[in-house]
Amino acid sequence: MMRTFARGNAAINVLARSGDLSVEVIDVGVDADLSSIVELRHAKIRHGSRNMLVEPAMTHEEYAGALAVGSDAVQRAASDGVQAIGLGEMGIGNTTSAAAVLSALTGLPSEQTVGRGTGIDDAGLLRKRDVVDRAVATHRDRIVSGQSRVSAAESLRCVGGLELVAIAGAVLEAARRNIAVVADGFISTVAVLAAARIAAQVPDSYDADNLVRALFFAHRGSELGHDAALAACADIRGIDAQPILALGLRLGEGSGAALAMPLLRSAAAIMREMATFAEAGVSTASLPE
Amino acid sequence: MMRTFARGNAAINVLARSGDLSVEVIDVGVDADLSSIVELRHAKIRHGSRNMLVEPAMTHEEYAGALAVGSDAVQRAASDGVQAIGLGEMGIGNTTSAAAVLSALTGLPSEQTVGRGTGIDDAGLLRKRDVVDRAVATHRDRIVSGQSRVSAAESLRCVGGLELVAIAGAVLEAARRNIAVVADGFISTVAVLAAARIAAQVPDSYDADNLVRALFFAHRGSELGHDAALAACADIRGIDAQPILALGLRLGEGSGAALAMPLLRSAAAIMREMATFAEAGVSTASLPE
């Protein structure tokens, strides 16, 4: 699949060409040696996240490194003059870690956060929910502090994945630079939720108000936990978590964000270029307030 | 407003530039002399449709002429290699005639077809519904034949407007040429409904199967009758009247069609350019059927 990205034949490549967008594919933790693929950006922290059933998915150093991968990507984009970024991912088993982070952040049971991902059967679904429940339970003492406050950073580090953390890092950096962020599907919405919680919990480092202003949500996807993730985002003051599209997508790769981007571009053009009714000489006497 | 179109400052101009689309603004019946505006296409049939409370909105000749205006526009587009067209309109009082056509075609009472348009008050809404009821009643003998079959063509001619007929003519011509048609809001959806009914009622002249394959619906708008118009379209076998967008638009001008067009273009690109799972070397063993 990474070679397909590199060849430009994956859905995200096609949609980016169609929508006049640039794509950067970053290897932050694929469990394979991809160094021969020159079209990728190589920032591998580790061959796959650690087994969250036996230890935190990342050490503190690995977590900080993954956060910086996302942050660095946004810094590169900013220096190219980019004003809006879409955030997507591709990973094996990463709806499981996203569901675990969502359960950790919201307290929702795995029945409400774990879906079928690329299409597991009923037995697989039960196993996946069991993994999420056990992972969250394993790290409860790290995630929940004495005042029963859930640490968003520790949730990401203990039961997240390297790509989730990189996306959260990108969100935090984009907010700092007033770059619009378009979340894609379930996984990136969970990463956005974690980033928004981190910004609120670490006010010395981040501006939570700036972050909520930067956020857009591309689409309402099919994965079970997506609505719960959107609802948790909407619970944060200032976030309008109404997705722009509802096309029943379930592909990932940032494909929904790529489809929403031309609509954002059009909205910006309207604000910049459209004549007001006064300029157009249209009477507004009969228009609604 | 027509000058604003000509200057390129209206919403549809901005959205077209943003989405790399061409716009053609055709005067088919504006009640003003626009001949000095060289950027418009001049095809005026009449200064405004006739008063449908006292006579059919168009004579048979005017109806045929308006139908040909739409047909000619699609022929020009086809000769330029256009593969998809969006259909919008701008007109004074034309949600009233669209509601009248919808009531005539479906038998729905005016309470379900007449909305507030650009924002009339409660008294205005009652007057508008009364006009629709009286107009449909006035022409019932022309619209409904002996076998209580509703003639779509006579509905359009007696209680429609020149722009509705031109749009219907464009739909019929596009279907004949296998050009995709994107309906915009309430008014163009009613015109599409009328065209689909005409195609079914005049099988010697039109291919109804071709027509249903050509149709896309851009968005679910705010005007009251829009859902009823979409539902009536969905009742026609083969039409998937699920709108692509639901953004609460209420502007007209084809703005919703312009916003949906990049999504159609992206969908076409995916079908043309995206690697299959087999080509990408992705195992499909665990994918849903």
DSSP line for B102-116:
HHHHH---HHHH---
B9, A280: Cβ pair inside 8 Å?
yes
> Using CA atoms, how far apart are residues A118 and A122, in angstroms rounded to an integer?
13
Measure the CA–CA gap between B93 and A128, rounded to whole angstroms: 58
pLDDT at residue B47, as a whole number: 97
For B162-174, b/e burial (b = at least 16 CB within 10 A) is bbbbbbbbbbbbb
Does residue B253 have an active-site annotation?
A: yes
The single-letter DSSP state of residue B44 is -
- B180-200 tens-digit pLDDT: 999 999 999 999 999 999 999
Cβ(A239)–Cβ(A171) below 8 Å: no
B270/A15 touch (CB, cutoff 8 Å), yes or no: yes
The CA distances from residue A276 to A220, B82, B230, B249, in Å, are 32, 31, 30, 17
The pLDDT score that the predictor gives to residue B18 is 95
Check residue A178 and give its pLDDT: 95
Mean pLDDT of B77-90: 96
Rg (CA), chain A: 19
Helix/strand/coil for B281: coil
The answer to whether B244 touches B268, Cβ cutoff 8 Å, is no
Task: Classify residue B59 as exposed, middle or buried by CB count within 10 Å of its CB (0-12, 13-18, 19+).
Answer: middle
Provide the pLDDT for residue B285: 56
Q: Determine whether the interchain pair A270/B15 forms a contact, defined as Cβ–Cβ distance below 8 Å.
A: yes
Dump pLDDT digits (tens) for B48-71: 999 999 999 999 999 999 999 999
**CA-based nearest residue in chain A for residue B245:** A245
Nearest CA to CA, how far is B277 from chain A (Å)? 9
Long-range contacts at A141-145 (CB < 8 A, ≥ 24 apart): A142/A56, A143/A104
Question: For the segment A178-223, what is each residue's pLDDT rounded down to a tens digit?
Answer: 999 999 999 999 999 999 999 999 999 999 999 999 999 999 988 8
Reduced to 3 states (helix: H, G, I; strand: E, B; else coil), residue B26 is strand
Average pLDDT, stretch B222-243? Answer: 94
Q: How confident is the model at residue B1 (pLDDT cuts 50, 70, 90)?
A: confident
**Separation CA A270–CA A213 (nearest Å):** 19
Q: What is the pLDDT of residue B289?
A: 40
Give buried/exposed letters for B121-159 (b at 16+ CB in 10 A, else e): eeeebeebbebbbebbebbeeebbeeeeebbbbbbbbbb
Facing A266 at nearest CB: one of B15, B273, B288 = B15
The burial class, CB within 10 Å (0-12 / 13-18 / 19+), for A10 is buried
- Report the alpha-carbon distance of residue B179 to residue B19 in Å, rounded: 19
> Is B107's pLDDT higher than 80?
yes
pLDDT tens-place values along chain A, 289 residues long = 888 998 999 999 999 999 999 999 999 999 999 999 999 999 999 999 999 999 999 999 999 999 999 999 999 999 999 999 999 999 988 999 999 999 999 999 999 999 988 789 999 999 999 999 999 999 999 999 878 799 999 999 999 999 999 999 999 999 999 999 999 999 999 999 999 999 999 999 999 999 999 999 999 988 899 999 999 999 999 999 999 999 888 888 999 999 999 999 999 999 999 887 777 777 665 554 4
What is the pLDDT of chain B when averaged over all its residues?
93
- Residue A285 has what pLDDT? 56
C-alpha to C-alpha distances, B261 to A90, A168, B267, nearest whole angstrom: 27, 32, 10
Mutate to test the interface with B, among A273, A283, A289 (most CBs of B within 10 A): A273
Q: Per-residue pLDDT for B284 more than 70?
A: no
Give the residue from B119, B187, B121 showing the smallest Cα distance to A283: B119
CB contact under 8 A, A273 and B7: no
- Specify which residues B89 forms β-bridges with: none
With a cut of 50, say whether residue B288 has pLDDT above it. no
Instruction: Note the residue count of chain A.
Output: 289
Q: What pLDDT band is residue B240 in, cutting at 50, 70 and 90?
A: very high
**Segment B213-225 mean pLDDT:** 92
pLDDT value, residue B171:
98
Cβ separation A118–B286 shorter than 8 A: yes
Q: Report percent pLDDT > 90 for chain B.
A: 83
Q: Which residues of A are catalytic?
A: 253
How many residue pairs from chains A and B have C-beta atoms closer than 8 A? 101
Is residue A67 packed enough to be buried (19+ CB in 10 Å), middle (13-18) or exposed (0-12)? buried
Whether B135 has a pLDDT exceeding 80, the answer reads yes
ipTM metric: 0.87
Q: Which of B7, B245, B280 sits opposite A10 (nearest CB)?
A: B280
Nearest to A196 by CA among A172, A163, A174, A231: A172
